[in-house]
Amino acid sequence: MDYLRPNMDRDRLLSMSSSALAHVGDGVYELLVRTWLSLHGKSTSRALHRASVSFVSAGAQAKALQIILPLLTQEEREIYRRGRNANVGAIPQSASAEEYHTATGLEALFGSLYLQGKTERIQELFALIMGD
């Protein structure tokens, strides 16, 4: 398995829990945000951290999902719904339950795209979110 370029088949992907997809997607999304910020002029650790937090918070991710939702395929919407409906346990005080569930759905979507090796689709959706 090439962990930098996974190419998981659909059946194996569908057998994974939504929490596992969201776990991977959280890392993918954070890496995208950190890279975007670094390439767009943020240079100090403090500035990078503050900006990263503002983009990866549940509220920001919930807003990001609203940007791309109309453009998702039926399969992508299903993965998003699975993630959104996952049993997430405790919800942080900084987010509403709706925001947190929506953010988990977004992360599951990005996790599933990454695990399927669909990096071009990830790039497309992320560019729309960031207004590129």
Q: Which residues are catalytic?
A: 26
Structure tokens at 38: 């670094």
97 to 28, 75, 128: CA distances (angstroms) = 22, 24, 25
Please give the structure tokens belonging to residue 22: 């969201």
Do 27 and 5 meet the contact criterion of CB atoms below 8 Å apart?
no
- Kindly state the greatest CA–CA separation across the chain: 43
Sign of the alpha-carbon dihedral angle for 50, 51, 52, 58: positive
Size of the chain, expressed as the number of residues it contains: 132
User: Tokens 């790039």 — which residue?
Assistant: 123
